[in-house]
Structure 1
Amino acid sequence: MGNLFCCVQVDQSMVAIKERFGKFDDVLQPGCHCLPWILGSRLVGHLSLRVQQLDVRCETKTKDNVFVNVVASVQYRAIANQASDAFYKLSNTEGQIQAYVFDVIRASVPRLDLDDVFEQKNEIAKAVEDELEKAMSTYGYEIVQTLIIDIEPDVHVKRAMNEINAAARLRVAANEKAEAGKILQIKRAEGEAESRYLAGLGIARQRQAIVDGLRDSVLGFSENVPGTSAKDVMDMVLITQYFDTMKEIGAASKSSAVFIPHGPGVVRDVASQIREGLLQASSVS
C-alpha cells in the first residue's frame, strides 16, 4: 500500500538504501519517506545500525605444538554516515570478518606456548580488534569490541594438564604430610625424653626414700632391741620384702614371673650378695 501511494516507512535503528534508475541516490533515515516510483526511485534494501555479534571458532597450533580451538566474539555495527559503503562494498560481512579473525589468530597464537595463550588472551583480542578496525572501517563498519571468550585445547591435552596439576598438588600434599610426621616424631621423642628424665628423677627419689627408710628402721630397731646388729635387721627386712613380693605375685590374676630357687634360706644368700656388692662398691670408690 505504501508503494502505491509512493510512501515508505523506515524503522528505528535502521536505514534504507534508495536508488534512482538503478543508481544509488540516498540513505533514508528512520521515519516516513516519499518514494515516487514513477520517477524511477525505488527502495533496494535496509541496513541495521544495531550492534551485532559474530562468534568465530578458529583452530590453530601453539608454539609447543598443541592444537587449540580459539573462540573470538566480535561486536560490530554499520556506521550511519557510511551506510552506502556498508551496503554496496561487502556482499558477505560475516565472512569478511571471519577471514580477518582467522588471519590474526593464526599469526599470533603459533608464537606462544599454551600457557602463554591463556595468559595473553587479552593481547590476542586487542590484535584482532586493531586489524579488524583498520580493515572494516573502509567498508563502513565499526568494530565495537573483540573478546577471546574461550580457548579449548584437545581433550587429551586437557586431561594431561589436569594430571600434571593433580600430581603437583599431590607432591605438595606429600611434602606437607611428611613434614607434619617429622614434627610429630620430634615432639614424641622430646616427650619421651622428658618422660624418661622425670621417671629417672622419680626412681632416684624413690631409692633415696627407701635408703632413708631402711636406715631409720635399722637405727630404731637397734636402739629398741638390745643385742641386734644392723646385719640382723637387714636380713629381717629382706625376708619381709621377699614374702610381700611372693604375696603380690600370688594375688595377681594375670602376671608374668620368672621363678628362681627360693626359700627362706635363699634370702640369706641374697643378703650376702647385696652386702658384698655394697662392700665392693665402697672399696672401688
Structure 2
Amino acid sequence: MAFINFVRDYERMARFRLGTFEGMMGPGIVFAIPIVHQIQKIDTRVTVLDIPRQTNITKDNAPIEIDFLVYLRVNIEHAHKAVLEVEDYTAAVVGLATTTLRAVVGEMDLDDVFSQRDKINEVLRSRLDGETERWGIKVTNVEIREIDPPREIQDAMNRQMSAERVRRAVVLEADGTRQAAITVAGGEKESAILKAEGARQAEILAAEGDQQAAVLRAQGFSDALQKIYDVAQNVDANTMTLQYVEALKEMAHGESTKWILPMELTKMLGGLGSINSAESGD
C-alpha cells in the first residue's frame, strides 16, 4: 500500500481507518498511512460480464443452451455499497444472472424463446437491475449471444421451417394467380366499358349529325319559301293575269268541256279588257 494514491476520474477509493469506514475518496490524491489505513479501489466504468453457457429448460420441457452478456457499472453516488454490502459484486451478478435466466426461460415456450429474444433481454435487465441496486450496481444492458437447442429439436425446427416455407410459397403462388385473374378480368371489364362508351358516343354523334342535317334542310326550305314570297310581293296584277291566260290556253288543249273559273279570274280578265281598250285607243 502506497502512502500517496492517485485516483482517476472514473475511480473511487474506499478508505478504512483501523477497520472503520471513512468514506469514498477521489478523484485526485488520496493519502493512506500504512497499518492505520486500508484502501480499496472501485472502477465506475461499464463492465461486461460474459455469463457462461448453461442449459435451461423451457416451459414445454425443451432443453436449450444459452450464453449472454451483462453490461453493468458501479453507481458513483452509491459506490460504497459495492464495498460494504457485497464481497465480490462481479461474482454476485454472475450468479444472479444465471438463476434469473433460468426463471425467465422456464416461463416461456421454445418458440417464444427464439422469437422474443429482445423481450428476454429486457426482462433480464429489469430483474437484475432491481436486485443489484442494493449493491450500488446499475445493470445497463443484457444481450443474449446464442441459443442452441439439442440436435433433435434443431432437426424438427428445420423441418418445420421447411414446411412453413413451402406453405408460404403455395400461398404466394395462389395469391399471384388470383391477382392475375383479377387483373385480367379488370382489363376485360375496362375494355368492354370503353367499347360501349365508344358505341354510345358514335350513336350520339350520328344522331346529332342527322339532327343538324334536318335543321339545315328545313332552314334551306324556309329560306326558299321566303325568297318566293319576297318575289311574289313584287309581281303586279297584270303579270298575274297573263299567267292565268297562259293557264287557260293550256286548259283549252285538254279534253274537258266544262271549266270552273274562280271569280278572281273574271275580275282579272275584265282588267285585261281594259288594258286592250286602252291600247286600241292609242
TM-score normalized by structure 1?
A: 0.54
Matched, 1:48 2:43: yes
CA 1:153–1:130: 2 relative to 1, 3 Å: same
CA 1:171–1:22: 2 relative to 1, 3 Å: closer
Match of 2:152 in 1: 156
Unaligned stretches of 5+ in structure 2?
Answer: 175-282
SS at the partner of 1:87?
A: helix
Match of 1:276 in 2: none
Contact 1:18/1:41, CA 8 A, preserved across alignment: no
TM-score normalized by structure 2?
A: 0.54
Map residues 42-191 of structure 1 onto 2, 5 A cutoff.
Answer: 42-56=37-51, 57-169=53-165
Contact 1:15/1:47, CA 8 A, preserved across alignment: yes
Contact 2:19/2:38, CA 8 A, preserved across alignment: no
SS at the partner of 1:90?
A: coil
Match of 2:216 in 1: none
* CA deviation vs aligned residue, 1:186-235 (integer Å, no higher than 9, x gap): xxxxxxxxxxxxxxxxxxxxxxxxxxxxxxxxxxxxxxxxxxxxxxxxxx
SS at the partner of 1:111?
A: coil
1:93 Cα shift?
1.9
Alpha-carbon distance in structure 2 between the residues aligned to 1:53 and 1:25: 29
Alpha-carbon distance in structure 2 between the residues aligned to 1:140 and 1:174: 56
SS at the partner of 2:86?
A: coil
Aligned pairs, how many?
Answer: 176
Q: In structure 1, what residue type is equivalent to 2:29?
A: C
1:76 Cα shift?
0.6
Alpha-carbon distance in structure 2 between the residues aligned to 1:126 and 1:176: 35
SS at the partner of 1:123?
A: helix
* CA deviation vs aligned residue, 1:55-87 (integer Å, no higher than 9, x gap): 223321122221111223211111112222101
Alpha-carbon distance in structure 1 between the residues aligned to 2:4 and 2:172: 81
Percent identity between the aligned chains?
25
Q: In structure 2, what residue type is equivalent to 1:32?
A: I
* CA deviation vs aligned residue, 1:95-153 (integer Å, no higher than 9, x gap): 32223223322222223221111222222222212221111111111111122232221
Matched, 1:19 2:16: yes
Higher Rg of the two aligned structures:
2
SS at the partner of 2:102?
A: helix
Unaligned stretches of 5+ in structure 1?
Answer: 179-285
